[in-house]
Structure 1
């Protein structure tokens, strides 16, 4: 089998480049992008963030990374979005301190539900330092 060389090049816009030599063509190298080895699936994220501007920024960043995003401002709307079932959520990204149902209460509801208990939940605490 050929040799595989992984490098990060400033010449390449995408970043990581994989170069390899095959046994047939020793001495020749071919550039292969690492993205070609990743599965072509789009993950759906439920983003639960109370602050409108923060929610819009995080949702835009997630979309830029090719995620489908359902963004809601509170835990109750998040639970309703899950129960709605139209989004087929793969990951829940939630703030801890939320209006109506907190992030912890949402996590408890998810963990106790037979269908949703296998959805990964990432809870974060947003601390604002206003000076």
Structure 2
């Protein structure tokens, strides 16, 4: 009887652990997606001339920091996707530092693509138990 209870307890803990790690993954992806959207919005408003350079630069730096902090719970393929987002954010930051409004169109489009990819990944993850 004790063995059955112990086995049940271990199975319950394993299920909670899997659920907990799955929840961490989903929360990390949601955070990365949110910071990606924030960076895109700031880039677009900077391009339109409605936010100052310093604000745009600070927000992009914060986006990069927050995204970097979320990578520990990601799979290798998602970490690679996150690295691509970081590279795109760096391109955007350089364009803003150099005040090259015409140079941010491509990084902004890439951020939009990254956002859509994250959205698809999140929807797939949320369907999993």
Which bracket does the TM-score occupy, shorter chain normalised? under 0.3
Which of the two has higher C-alpha Rg? Answer: 1
- Per the normalisation by structure 1, the TM-score is 0.26
TM-score, length of structure 2 as denominator length: 0.26
Q: Which has the higher strand share?
A: 1
Tell me: higher relative CO, structure 1 or 2? Use CA pairs within 8 A at least 6 residues apart. Answer: 2
Higher helix share: 2
